[in-house]
Amino acid sequence: MTVRLTNTQIQQAAALIKAGELVAFPTETVYGLGADATNPVAVKQVYQAKGRPSDNPLIVHVHNFDQVKALAIIPTPTVAALVQAFWPGPLTLILPIKNNALDASVTGGLKTAAFRMPNNAATLKLIELAGVPLVGPSANTSGKPSPTTADHVLHDLDGKIAAVLDDGPTKVGVESTVLDMSVVPPVILRPGAVTREKLLTILPKVLDNKHHVATNEVPKAPGMKYRHYAPEASVIIVKDAQDFNAAIDWALKQSVQVGLLATDQILASQDKIRFKEQFSLGDSVVSASHKLFDGLRYFDLYPEVKIILAQGFEPKGLGTAYMNRLEKASGTHYFEK
């Protein structure tokens, strides 16, 4: 059985990491599944616990930039500028690594690795006390919605990992932006809360057109190749609020139960008797990004719900990250009038 630890038990969590065990940890984005990044045996247990494909590389979590410099080649001074501007925070940097610095189980066999310094005091202390960087993919069953609470972690991984360090709900809710700094110009491989617009305050040019890879390619970052974020029910994206009336008329004609995942404004306009399973995304794309994974997981509690109508947002700023996750959850399935 997995132990739930509190912020007063970080030393115990660090001891488990040192012993080669798996410990889920909180970040500002989602909960990560932690193991000693320098211990290939422990790292391989992460893949086993999650049921994760072995060519899907892991993000290495650090508590300071010196840990990165010990493992990676820093190709340009702008890397340090990005660290200064956005760390700790939801930005992951892909960098070329030094020879034999990390095992292939961490990198997916690539000569690059992904690094991030999470903005969570408990986890930064955990990494410091463990004395090693931690791999930290989302602490869930591979392909399912990412966990934003310790309860989500336990739902998927109870009995499969040693412990979860519980620091309450995460603050951002969608995973970090992944920026490939091993190429020129840099490329966003996964959108997140650090938007392209924010990156352009540091970098002269940033590309944002490489969020997927082909089936025969090894992805440089998580979320580029395999099915992600999917609940048990089918997800259909309603492109914008104006389309919801037509979508709901369609839903009421279906022979199966339909759930609504939408903002307060949309939900307030609907008959709760007809749509008894609803989940509020709040009132903006910010709250929607924070609540998206929680909402997708909510409907798994109600197996009678076979279809989820999910509200889309304009894909700009944080909406780019929200729509990236929602499209993966739905298989890019949009409602058509």
Q: Please state the rounded mean pLDDT for residues 222-231.
A: 68
Within-domain flag for 207: no
Q: State which of 199, 215, 249 marks the end of a domain.
A: 199
CATH code, 181:
3.90.870.10
Beta strand ranges found along 21-69 (DSSP E): 23-25, 32-36, 59-61
Which domain-ending residue is among 177, 199, 221? 199
At residue 199's C-alpha, the angle toward residues 195 and 204, to 5°, is 140
Q: Is residue 213 part of a domain?
A: no
Kindly report the CATH number assigned to the domain that includes residue 261.
Answer: 3.40.50.11030
Q: Is residue 190 in a domain?
A: yes
Q: Which residues are annotated as a binding site for L-threonine?
A: 29, 61, 116, 176
Same domain for 119 and 170, yes or no, is yes
Q: Is the pLDDT of residue 215 over 60?
A: no
This prediction's pTM: 0.92
**Residues contributing to the annotated binding site for ATP:** 52, 56, 112, 138, 146, 190, 229
Q: Are residues 127 and 77 part of one domain?
A: yes
What's the CA gap between 186 and 332, in Å, rounded? 26
Per-residue confidence band for 56, with pLDDT thresholds at 50, 70 and 90: confident
- How many folded domains does the chain comprise? 2
Nearest to 32 by CA among 52, 9, 55: 52
Question: Has residue 100 been placed in a domain?
Answer: yes
Annotated binding site: 29, 52, 56, 61, 112, 116, 138, 146, 176, 190, 229
Token pair, residue 244, equals 């919801």
Contact residues for 179 (Cβ-Cβ < 8 A; gap 6+)? 82, 91, 92, 93, 94, 186, 187, 188, 189, 194, 199, 206
In three-state secondary structure terms, 22 is: coil
Please name every residue paired with 165 in a beta bridge, in sequence order, or none if there are none.
Answer: 5
**pLDDT, tens digit, 9 for 90 and up, residues 145-201:** 999 999 999 999 999 999 999 999 999 999 999 999 999 999 999 999 999 999 999
Of the pLDDT bands very low, low, confident and very high (cuts 50, 70, 90), residue 272 is low
How large is the angle between the packed helices 285-300 and 150-157, nearest 10 degrees? 30
The most distant pair of C-alpha atoms in the chain lies apart, rounded to whole Å, by: 62
pLDDT > 70 in the chain, percent: 93
**Which residues constitute the domain of residue 151?**
3-199
Regarding whether 16 and 154 lie in a shared domain, the answer is yes
Confidence check: pLDDT of 214 > 90: no
Mean pLDDT over each residue of the chain, to the nearest integer:
92
Residues 6+ apart with CB under 8 A from 201: 85
pLDDT tens-digit readout, 321-334 = 999 999 999 999 99
